[in-house]
Amino acid sequence: MRAGAILLFVAVVSGCGGPAGPVMVPVSGAVQYDGQPVAEGSVTFVAPDGSSVPNVLTITDGRYVGRVVAGQKRLEVRGMRRAKLAAASAGGPGTEDGTALRNYIPAAYNDRSTLVREITPPGPLVIDLDLAAAP
């Protein structure tokens, strides 16, 4: 009886039989829109079947780097820059100067994106994105 309890304890402590978690793959790349580096924004890797939480990687100075769950992913690219607000929408938090960050990348590359990539272990993968102004 005591030997069985010890074996059970060893199995639990060593993680025997427990879930391993998702396989994460290192991913990086450059992002350009209309021939220019995207200064700031994000690349979101979305599982088309909803099997994992989306991975959002930050774009800084035209580059992104991070880890993404393995599998087929739809890519959503957003580029942010300051834009002048219309007089009717001015006055919210963070708009003291009459501007706010706005996504300038067309919906064809984010909300309606058809960009798909397979994220395969072990990586690292380099996925450069050169987006045209008129998709």
* CA proximity to 55, closest of 74, 38, 31: 74
> pLDDT tens digit string along 84-108?
776 555 455 555 667 788 999 999 9
Q: Residue 6: inside a domain, yes or no? A: no
Asked if the model's pLDDT at residue 36 lies above 80, the reply is yes
Q: Residue 9: inside a domain, yes or no? A: no
Its domain, for residue 43, covers: 22-131
SS (H, E, C) 72-115: EEEEEEEEEEEEECCHHHCCCCCCCCCEEEEECCCHHHCCCCCC
Which DSSP helix (H) or strand (E) runs through 118? Answer: strand 116-119
CATH of the domain at 32: 2.60.40
Asked if the model's pLDDT at residue 10 lies above 70, the reply is no
